[in-house]
Chains A and B, each alone.
Chain A
Amino acid sequence: MAHLAIESVSLRYDDGPQVLGGVSLDLRDGEFLVVVGRSGCGKTSLLNLAAGFVPPTTGRVAVNGVAITGPGADRAVVFQDDALFPWLSTAENVALGPRLSGIGKAERRRIAENQLAIVGLEGLADRPIWRLSGGQRQRVGLARALAARPTFLLMDEPLGALDAMTREAMQELLVEVWAKSGAGVLLITHGVEEALFLATRIVVMAPNPGRIVKTLNVDFSRRRLAGESARSIKSSRDFVAMREALLDAIFEREAA
């Protein structure tokens, strides 16, 4: 069983204030871990550490017990502002991971079309990405990450820039994709409902320095997979109760 471990990590950029102080967090494959917290609590820094974009100041990040030294194809990343490559077509964007690892053209095409179908973008393979809508681009970013067949999928507020309707549709897609891929997902968000709907486990962070203040196990995404509708889940009594509990956890520290 694959295992991404963030072990007693602290982070400080140059002479700036401490961004993260003593954070420990485990992510296993098949798990959907959501990190919530207010702006400036170090959520994105935590993801950058897990991805290997920045090294921890103290502590370590390890995959299956081996410390990471940088980014790797086992940990795919989906960015808030999609970070697609406009000089490549939609299909070429999706198949960039396979291309970098030396997979042939025909096979890349097959992979791209396959992944585009999974995220609901059949037939858009040859479209330039600057002709896609924001929601479509975010789906391409997701397909690109999945095409690398990652063990872990790291997502930094992937739905943050989308309108409310698109976001709801994307949330359902994320649940499906997560279940299908079997990857361990780490998703950063400031949306409380989003966190509850997607996660199997929620971690609440607080700032100054960034640290984990609460962990919650939830199972609404499994209810969605079992066939219950998103509306029914989000209006259910236990969902609403959990939402209030989660909001309390996020804002408690500020009141004190």
Chain B
Amino acid sequence: MSLDLAEAVLAPDEPTDHRPSRKRGAVPVRLISFATLAVLLAAWQVSASLALVPSLFLPAPAAVFGQFVAVARDGFVDATLAQHLAASLGRVFAALTAAIVVGVPIGFAIGASPVGRGIFDPLIEILRPIPPLAYLPLVIIWFGIGEPSKILIIAIAMLAPIVIATASGVRAVATDRLNAARALGATRRQLVRHVVLPSALPSVLTGVRIALGTGWSTLVAAELVAASRGLGFMIQSAAQFLVTDVVVMGILVIAAVAFALEALIRLVERWLVPWAGKA
């Protein structure tokens, strides 16, 4: 009876129950993420130690790391890991440059003028959903199997995100800021240079970030054809010889580089547009 009473008295104290739950939300997410990765790695190690899966299908972590060291030092199919990486990064950054040079003006035209929007919007909307593997054969028929084709395939994949982000940045320029500059005597050209371009820059950089992700994931497709270097090429060659540990190592390197690129572009954002989201 007294126990019931105690419960009845304690029951309305729900707010005290809410506070710990909010604390639970504040648990460091990073720690959980690291734990998840650690558990995954441990499971991988255990299954390799107990030989649950033939190493042809799943090589041991130590074997993969061993290949990382070996390929970094001695190379795989006539090139070291650094050379493969440099070839891939070179293609992705050449493609990024091309996509920015072409995409930013197109995005600007779409965002700033109805005519530009009428011309380019349908083209971009048609191009955007096509998977790179679908236009790969056509690009090869048109431009051959050389380096330009590989760069072009990546650049096409990068184009849409940059165009769309630029257009939305240009469209979102604050009317008050445009008016403020006009009332200070700005000409049309000065408006573009002093207001529209800097206003759109954070959005353009977001587009570049998305494009880098897209471009990097298109890399393997681009290196399917007649490449002699590159991370994608390395993985495919290794797969043909059933060198599974190099395949796994290559995949992990691609993932790590993607992560590093993301971090890099965030640094660039902090340096170029420190005001973004603050004013």
Contact B275 A86 (CB under 8 A): yes
Contact B190 A72 (CB under 8 A): no
Tell me the nearest residue of chain A to B185, going by C-beta: A73
Contact A100 B183 (CB under 8 A): no
Contact B181 A100 (CB under 8 A): yes
Of B176, B180, B279, most buried by chain A (CB within 10 Å of CB) is B180
Contact A76 B184 (CB under 8 A): yes
Of A51, A53, A144, most buried by chain B (CB within 10 Å of CB) is A53
Q: How many A-B residue pairs have CB under 8 A?
A: 73
Complex Cα distance, B183 from A72, in Å, reads: 5
Contact A101 B185 (CB under 8 A): yes
Contact B194 A100 (CB under 8 A): yes
Contact A128 B183 (CB under 8 A): no
Minimum C-beta distance from B275 to chain A (A): 3
The residues of A that contact B174 with a CB separation of less than 8 Å are 83
The residues of B that contact A128 with a CB separation of less than 8 Å are 274-275
Chain B, 172-218, CB within 8 A of any chain A CB: 174, 176-177, 179-187, 190, 194-195, 198, 201
Tell me the nearest residue of chain A to B179, going by C-beta: A53
Q: Quick one: which of B183, B201, B273, B274 contacts A73, CB cutoff 8 A? A: B183
Minimum C-beta distance from B38 to chain A (A): 39
Contact B184 A100 (CB under 8 A): yes
Complex Cα distance, B279 from A87, in Å, reads: 9
Q: Quick one: which of A51, A101, A148 contacts B179, CB cutoff 8 A? A: A51
The residues of A that contact B187 with a CB separation of less than 8 Å are 100
Task: Decide if B278 is an interface residue (CB 8 Å cutoff).
Answer: yes
Contact A83 B194 (CB under 8 A): no
Complex Cα distance, B184 from A72, in Å, reads: 6
Minimum C-beta distance from B205 to chain A (A): 13
With A81-B176, A87-B198, A87-B273 known as contacts, the answer to whether A130 contacts B279 (CB < 8 A) is: yes
Contact A96 B181 (CB under 8 A): yes
Complex Cα distance, B183 from A71, in Å, reads: 5
With A83-B174, A85-B194, A129-B279 known as contacts, the answer to whether A76 contacts B183 (CB < 8 A) is: yes
The residues of B that contact A202 with a CB separation of less than 8 Å are none
Contact B275 A71 (CB under 8 A): no
Task: Decide if A70 is an interface residue (CB 8 Å cutoff).
Answer: yes
**Residues 239-279 of chain B, each 1 if its beta carbon lies under 8 Å from chain A, else 0:** 00000000000000000000000000000000001110011
Contact A96 B194 (CB under 8 A): yes
Complex Cα distance, B177 from A81, in Å, reads: 10
Q: Quick one: which of B177, B179, B183, B274 contacts A85, CB cutoff 8 A? A: B177
Minimum C-beta distance from A64 to chain B (A): 17
Contact B182 A100 (CB under 8 A): no
Q: Quick one: which of B182, B190, B275, B279 contacts A53, CB cutoff 8 A? A: B182
Complex Cα distance, B196 from A87, in Å, reads: 11
Complex Cα distance, B194 from A85, in Å, reads: 9
Complex Cα distance, B184 from A52, in Å, reads: 12
The residues of A that contact B183 with a CB separation of less than 8 Å are 51-53, 71-73, 75-77, 145, 148, 154
Of B174, B185, B187, B198, most buried by chain A (CB within 10 Å of CB) is B185
Minimum C-beta distance from A238 to chain B (A): 36
Complex Cα distance, B198 from A85, in Å, reads: 9
With A51-B183, A71-B182, A100-B186 known as contacts, the answer to whether A87 contacts B275 (CB < 8 A) is: yes
Contact B180 A79 (CB under 8 A): yes
The residues of B that contact A33 with a CB separation of less than 8 Å are none
Between-chain CB contacts (< 8 Å), 28 pairs: A52-B182, A52-B183, A53-B183, A71-B179, A71-B185, A73-B183, A77-B179, A77-B180, A83-B179, A83-B180, A85-B194, A85-B198, A86-B278, A86-B279, A87-B198, A87-B201, A87-B273, A96-B184, A97-B185, A100-B185, A100-B187, A100-B194, A128-B274, A129-B275, A130-B278, A144-B180, A144-B184, A148-B185
Closest CB pairs A-B (n = 6): A73-B185, A86-B275, A86-B279, A83-B176, A97-B184, A71-B182
Give B residues with C-beta under 8 Å from A: 174, 176-177, 179-187, 190, 194-195, 198, 201, 273-275, 278-279
Known: A83-B180, A87-B273. 9 other contacts (CB 8 A): A51-B179, A52-B183, A73-B184, A77-B179, A85-B198, A86-B279, A87-B275, A130-B275, A144-B180
